Structure 1
Amino acid sequence: MTNQFRQQYAPILRVTSIASMLAGLAILISLSYDILHNHLFAITPAYLEVQLIACLVLIMDFVLHWYAAYDRKRYFWRNLVLLLVSIPFLNIVLWSGAELSREWYFVLKMAPLIRAFAAVIIVVAWLVNGRIKMLFAGYLFTVVAFTYLAALIFYCYEFGVNPKVDNFGNSLWWACMNVTTVGAAIFPVTTIGKILAVTLPSLGMMMFPIFTIYVTNLITQHRDNS
């Protein structure tokens, strides 16, 4: 695949990547609505429709990127996971009449978000110049997105069994305090909650070296320009 050929498809790829990002946002909004209004692991027809349409957009984006790739075979195998998480497995499972545990239903509801996040990273790479800035912007988005998702998951599992988690605001505050390594006066009682209590501070601590590199790079650039 020549560079000229790929440049011809660049505008289309940008549009599909932005569409994938918006599809992921639609899934996240629908998922949040289901969790906050129906609690736990409800599956509504509206969410199934949103996920099906969003997954079709994600698959279309993958196919177009594959078609425009320099090495299609290499691109396919390197990004196979992104293709798999774009498949609307939840819709397929429900259409087939199969029964899964509520945890698996939740996993299948969340899976397409992984592909959408990959699209966001691509869009960030277009908007941000410089490798250090792109790394910082990408990681900052990852921290914010994971913190919000962790708050949703924590609310799912802790609501009703943890007396201190009586609304989503408490769950979001708990997630923010943990990702900043400050900690909160809310202690998880479920296994998933305890795992998140370990994962969030770890993710937050990984932010400090990247932030240090970013600030150092800014100072170096300012010194060189002056």
Structure 2
Amino acid sequence: MKQENRIFEKFLNILVLLGSLFIIVIVSIELLSLRPVLSESFILNTHLIVCFIFLLDFFVRWFYSGQGWRFMWRNLFFFLVSIPYLNIVYAFVPDLSHGAWVALRLIPLARGIYGVSLIVSWMTLSKVTNLFVTYLTILFIIIYFSSIIFFFMEHGPNPMVKDYWDAFNWSLMNVTTVGSNIFGVTKLGQSLAVILAASGMIFFPIFTAFVVDKFQKKRKEAEGQLSN
């Protein structure tokens, strides 16, 4: 029975990963397209299916955790970002503004990013390497989505954002805390610059810990060879 449960959990993990990647691809297409490419019904249906997979994974892990309500409180954030808010709000307010439509679609991305980073972390053995690779994955996704959201918001109002690569360059320069010669003219664009700078500042201590850990391992290996 336990073996069957593990197989089912692994199957759900694969579905969560595929759903996470699917969300990333679909949101990228929508934000980078200058005109509508995907139909409204397609977006609503896929959004509902992916959120259902996220919720199913959450409740299955809760059921087999044996932690009761403690599991719920510890993972409340992942439960909240798995709810299909777009479908719920659209059912009551069909005439959503485009900004609200996009914002509601971005909420499950938090669960999607976590799903991708979790799978990546499984590929590493060392705790320090695990932390480094996981955060590097999250940082890359933050850079990527900040750039496409910045392009979506600033293309047109901001004459300095001529194409996506201007937005991507802006994102890279801000995450290094160096700053870019492109400045956001919208409130969201200005806020994203702060988020990117904060993400970059968090990355440097983790990178330092990763380098120190590797250096210490190499030194221990060298000392072991000398003693032999």
- Does TM, scored on the shorter chain, surpass 0.5? yes
Residue by residue over 1:104-147, the C-alpha shift from the partner in whole angstroms, topping out at 9 and shown as x without a partner, is 33221111111122222332332211211111011101110111
Change (3 A) 1:189 1:24: same
Match of 1:86, SS state, is coil
Match of 1:222, SS state, is helix
Q: C-alpha distance in 2, partners of 1:50/1:215?
A: 41
Is 1:94 aligned to 2:90, yes or no? yes
Q: Does the CA contact (< 8 Å) of 1:158 and 1:188 recur in 2?
A: yes
Q: Which residue of 2 aligns with 1:72?
A: 68
The worse-fitting range, judged by mean Cα deviation, of 188-197 and 116-125 is 116-125
Residue by residue over 1:163-183, the C-alpha shift from the partner in whole angstroms, topping out at 9 and shown as x without a partner, is 011221211111012112232
**Stretches of structure 1 lacking an aligned partner (at least 5 in a row):** none
Q: Which amino acid aligns with 1:184?
A: S
Segments of 4+ moved more than 6 angstroms? none
The worse-fitting range, judged by mean Cα deviation, of 60-69 and 76-85 is 76-85
Shift of residue 153 of structure 1?
1.5
Q: Does the CA contact (< 8 Å) of 1:14 and 1:123 recur in 2?
A: no
Shift of residue 74 of structure 1?
1.0
**Stretches of structure 2 lacking an aligned partner (at least 5 in a row):** 223-228
Q: How many residues align?
A: 221
Change (3 A) 1:71 1:12: same
The worse-fitting range, judged by mean Cα deviation, of 181-190 and 126-135 is 181-190
TM-score (norm 1): 0.88
TM-score (norm 2): 0.88
Q: Identity of paired residues, percent? A: 34
Q: Which amino acid aligns with 1:121?
A: S
Q: Does the CA contact (< 8 Å) of 1:35 and 1:152 recur in 2?
A: yes
Residue by residue over 1:37-93, the C-alpha shift from the partner in whole angstroms, topping out at 9 and shown as x without a partner, is 1469x9733222221111111111111111110313211222122112111110122
Q: Which residue of 1 aligns with 2:136?
A: 140
Residue among 30, 33, 41 paired with 1:34:
30
- Please tell me whether Structure 1 or Structure 2 has the larger radius of gyration of its CA atoms: 2
Residue among 114, 118, 121 paired with 1:118:
114
Q: Does the CA contact (< 8 Å) of 1:181 and 1:201 recur in 2?
A: yes
Residue by residue over 1:18-39, the C-alpha shift from the partner in whole angstroms, topping out at 9 and shown as x without a partner, is 2112101111111111112146
Shift of residue 184 of structure 1?
2.1
CA RMSD of aligned residues (A): 2.2
Is 1:11 aligned to 2:3, yes or no? no
Q: Does the CA contact (< 8 Å) of 1:21 and 1:117 recur in 2?
A: no
Q: Does the CA contact (< 8 Å) of 2:154 and 2:184 recur in 1?
A: yes
Q: C-alpha distance in 1, partners of 2:125/2:6?
A: 17
Shift of residue 213 of structure 1?
0.5
Q: C-alpha distance in 2, partners of 1:39/1:134?
A: 40
